[in-house]
């Protein structure tokens, strides 16, 4: 049993919103991967630690948590044909490219996305993989291997598309699958990989892609299967006005009515985007305890709209943040996404919106959206997932409040990242990974993929 004292940080944000949240200005103690003590200003740990990490030049936060992404899209970033397209046109141009994905492509893309995320302070990431061309049947298996190798936590979702053009859907027939194939694989990957309880490294959720790419029956079956297997549900919803019109024309109802009609309006579900909700829908989602992954950069990039983040959270929604797919952001930097969320929500709600509220979305809120209560907060008994940020670059010089400086001055790179008590980033580098070699292979795979 080794105890480590992260000692006397320059600043600390615990994300604990309890009125009696303890003082952690003296740092925190980690024992066997779990936080065992918070130390008050000027204090020392109750028992002498085995080792001490001097944090006097660092701001300490919980590990950031990403609630929506498509790792495979790192291979199609900033691709000229879609740099200026709105969602539906963007998708239709990209589907045939993505239909050529191989297991090796997905492995490289997952490695690159998780590297970017780790370096931006992310310790738990959700990925929504819904492209299953022939040959890529074991996509989740490929991703589990990478997650374990890098030592991060992940909620990997078994995505799916079942509504092809023959049935009025958007994606081409080559990437849609039959309902029974999808259901069998969902069951297989949950039974094989889903870990339960505190400290889980890999979790699996079920994630039909969106109302315009999945059949109604497919949505309903996913909800039933998730209930039976006791796992979470994820999908894209209310991202654009095009989607709202699609739902009105095809189903004769708005997106949230459709969600409810297929058994998804529950606290088992978290939704990507959630931009276009009316007052009644905000209240219904909140009452149900549904989660929303707010993806501000993607929503601005595709001009989809501004999510009603503050109202959703105030209504009871578990509001988290997502960098979203790397072809609609096109980066995977979660620290910068928290800054983006702060600013976009301030445009809507005013400059009095606290910096710490946006940090709360990136940590505690995201954990709740993923159905986890063991991460996202620095408190006794929680997993030791934390980030140490340095403020010694020119952009921070002259900053006074170290915690506010993270977002206001644009912190984008973690100095140290700990997941479950293990350092996964040290001195701004991913431990045990040859990043330059990875990027050479990834760039080559990206070139091959778009060349066809
Ligand atoms: Zn997405």
pLDDT band at 85 (very low <50, low <70, confident <90, very high): confident
Residue-number span of the structural domain to which 385 is assigned? 3-62+376-430
Residue of 42 and 164 predicted with greater confidence = 42
pLDDT at 40: 98
**pLDDT (average), residues 406-421:** 98
**Residue 404 and residue 307 share a domain:** no
| Cα 69 to averaged position of ligand 1 atoms, centre (Å) | 6
Instruction: Using the 3D structure, point to which of 322, 343, 369 is the last residue of a domain.
Output: 369
Q: Could you tell me if residue 257 is inside a domain?
A: yes
What does R_g of the chain's alpha carbons equal in angstroms? Answer: 21
Residues 332 and 283 occupy one common structural domain: yes
Residue 283, in any domain of the structure: yes
* Statement to judge: residues 404 and 263 lie in one domain: no
| 216: CB partners within 8 A, 6+ apart | 251, 261, 262
Total domains in the fold of the chain = 2
- At residue 167, the pLDDT reads 87
Q: How far is CA 23 from the centre of its chain?
A: 28
In the chain, the percentage of residues whose pLDDT exceeds 90 is 92
In angstroms, what is the span from residue 403 Cα to ligand 1's centroid? 29
- Residue 270: its pLDDT value, please? 98
Please state which of the ranges 139-148, 174-183, 430-439 shows the lowest mean pLDDT. Answer: 174-183
What distance in angstroms lies between residue 273's CA and the mean position of ligand 1's atoms?
Answer: 8
| Mean pLDDT across 182-205 | 98
How many Å lie between the centroid of ligand 1 and the Cα of residue 48? 47
Q: Which of these three, 369, 384, 413, is where a domain ends?
A: 369
160 and 261: one domain? yes
Q: Does 189 lie in the same domain as 249? A: yes
Q: Report the separation in Å between the CA atom of 158 and the middle of ligand 1, taken as the mean of its atom positions.
A: 14
Q: Which residue has the higher pLDDT, 173 or 389?
A: 389
Q: What is the pLDDT of residue 88?
A: 87
CB atoms < 10 A from the CB of 303, how many? 9
CA dist 232 and 224 (Å) reads 11
Q: According to the 3-state scheme, what is the secondary structure of the chain?
A: CCEEEEECCCEECCCCCCCCCCCCCCEEEEECCEEEEEECCCCCCCCCCCEEEECCCEEEEECEEECCCCHHHHHHCCCHHHCCCCHHHHHHHHHHHHCCCCHHHHHHHHHHHHHHHHHCCEEEEEEEECCCCCCCCCHHHHHHHHHHHHCCEEEEEEEECCCCHHHCCCCCHHHCCCHHHHHHHHHHHHHHHCCCCCCCCEEEEEEECCCCCCCHHHHHHHHHHHHHHCCCEEEEECCCHHHHHHHHHHHCCCHHHHHHHCCCCCCCEEEEECCCCCHHHHHHHHHHCCEEEECHHHHHHCCCCCCCHHHHHHHCCEEEECCCCCCCCCCCCHHHHHHHHHHHHHHHHCCCCCHHHHHHHHHHHHHHHCCCCCCCCCCCCCECCEEEEECCCHHHCCCCCHHHHHHHCCCCCCCEEEECCEEEEECCEECCCCHHHHHHHHHHHHHHHHHC
pLDDT of residue 121: 98
Does 410 lie in the same domain as 312?
no
Gap from CA of 235 to ligand 1 centroid (Å): 8
68 Cα to the center of ligand 1, angstroms: 6
> Distance, CA 311 to ligand 1 centroid (Å)?
22
Q: How far away, in angstroms, is 182 Cα from ligand 1 center?
A: 19
- Distance from the CA of 197 to the center of ligand 1, in angstroms? 27
Distance from Cα 232 to the centre of ligand 1, integer Å:
17
What is the per-residue pLDDT across 387-412, written as a single tens digit (0 to 9) for each? Answer: 999 999 999 999 999 999 999 999 99
Average pLDDT of the segment spanning 171-180: 91
What is the reported pLDDT for 30?
98
Q: Is residue 327 over pLDDT 90?
A: no
Is the pLDDT assigned to residue 328 strictly greater than 90? no
Ligand 1: centre distance to CA 44 (Å): 45
- Centroid of ligand 1 to alpha carbon of 30 (angstroms): 35
Q: What is the mean pLDDT of residues 150-172?
A: 93
Kindly give the distance from the C-alpha atom of residue 325 to the centroid of ligand 1, in angstroms, as a whole number: 6
Q: What spacing in Å lies between the alpha carbon of 161 and ligand 1's midpoint?
A: 13
Residue 165 lies in a domain: yes
CA 374 / ligand 1 centre spacing (Å): 25
302 and 391 housed in the same domain: no
Q: What average pLDDT does the chain have?
A: 96
Compute the distance from residue 107 Cα to the ligand 1 centre, in Å: 19
CA 180–ligand 1 middle distance (angstroms): 24
Give domain status of residue 435, yes or no.
no
* Residue 212: pLDDT band with limits 50, 70, 90: confident
Q: Residue 116: its pLDDT value, please?
A: 97
Residue 193 inside a domain? The answer is yes
Rounded Cα distance between 425 and 448, Å, is 30
What pLDDT score was predicted for residue 452?
Answer: 82
Same domain for 328 and 401? no
- 114 and 157 together in one domain: yes
Residues 233 and 98 in one domain: yes
Find the angle CA(264)-CA(200)-CA(374) to the nearest 5 degrees.
80
Q: Check whether residue 176 and residue 125 sit in a common domain.
A: yes
Residue 358 lies in a domain: yes
In a domain, 439, yes or no: no
Q: In this predicted model, what pLDDT tens digit does every residue of 252-302 receive, in sequence order?
A: 999 999 999 999 999 999 999 999 999 999 999 999 999 999 999 999 999
Question: For 89-121, how does the pLDDT look when each residue is reduced to its tens digit (9 = 90+)?
Answer: 889 999 999 999 999 999 999 999 999 999 999
Where residue 408 sits, what CATH number does that domain have? 2.30.40.10
Are 68 and 195 members of one domain? yes
pLDDT (0 to 100) of residue 340? 98
CATH number at residue 109: 3.20.20.140
**Which of 354, 369, 384 is the last residue before a domain boundary?**
369
Greatest alpha-carbon pair distance for the chain in Å reads 68
At 51, is the pLDDT very low, low, confident or very high (cuts 50, 70, 90)?
very high
């Amino acid at each position: 049993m080794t105890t480590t004292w992260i000692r006397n940080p320059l600043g600390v944000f615990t994300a604990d919103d309890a009125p009696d949240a303890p003082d952690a200005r003296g740092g925190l103690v980690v024992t066997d991967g779990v936080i065992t003590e918070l130390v008050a200003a000027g204090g020392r740990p109750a028992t002498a630690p085995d080792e001490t990490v001097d944090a006097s030049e660092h701001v300490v936060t919980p590990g950031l948590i990403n609630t929506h992404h498509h790792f495979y899209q790192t291979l199609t970033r900033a691709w000229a044909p879609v740099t200026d397209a709105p969602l539906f046109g963007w998708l239709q141009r990209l589907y045939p490219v993505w239909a050529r994905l191989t297991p090796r492509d997905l492995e490289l893309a997952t490695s690159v996305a998780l590297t970017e995320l780790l370096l931006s302070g992310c310790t738990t990431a959700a990925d929504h993989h819904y492209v299953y061309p022939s040959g890529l049947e074991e996509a989740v298996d490929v991703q589990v291997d990478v997650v374990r190798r890098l030592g991060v936590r992940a909620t990997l979702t078994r995505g799916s598309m079942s509504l092809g053009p023959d049935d009025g859907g958007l994606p081409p027939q080559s990437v849609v699958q039959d309902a029974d194939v999808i259901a069998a694989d969902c069951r297989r990957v949950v039974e094989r990989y889903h870990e339960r309880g505190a400290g889980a490294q890999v979790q699996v959720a079920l994630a039909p892609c969106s109302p315009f790419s999945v059949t109604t029956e497919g949505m309903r079956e996913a909800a039933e299967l998730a209930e039976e297997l006791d796992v979470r549900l994820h999908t894209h919803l209310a991202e654009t006005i095009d989607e709202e019109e699609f739902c009105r024309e095809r189903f004769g109802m708005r997106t949230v009515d459709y969600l409810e009609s297929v058994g998804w309006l529950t606290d088992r579900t978290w939704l990507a985007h959630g931009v276009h909700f009316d007052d009644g829908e905000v209240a219904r989602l909140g009452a149900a305890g549904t989660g929303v992954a707010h993806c501000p950069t993607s929503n601005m990039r595709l001009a989809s709209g501004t999510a009603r983040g503050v109202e959703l959270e105030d209504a009871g929604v578990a509001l988290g943040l997502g960098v979203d797919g790397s072809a609609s952001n096109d980066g995977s930097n979660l620290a910068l996404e928290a800054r983006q969320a702060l600013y976009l929500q301030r445009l809507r709600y005013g400059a009095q919106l606290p910096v710490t509220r946006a940090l709360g979305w990136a940590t505690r809120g995201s954990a709740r959206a993923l159905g986890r209560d063991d991460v996202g907060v620095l408190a006794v008994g929680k997993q030791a997932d934390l980030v140490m940020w340095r403020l010694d670059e020119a952009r921070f010089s002259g900053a006074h409040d170290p915690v506010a400086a993270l977002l206001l001055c644009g912190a984008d790179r973690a100095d140290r990242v700990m997941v479950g008590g293990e350092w996964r980033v040290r001195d701004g580098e991913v431990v045990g990974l040859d990043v330059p070699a990875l990027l050479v292979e990834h760039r080559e795979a990206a070139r091959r993929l778009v060349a066809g």
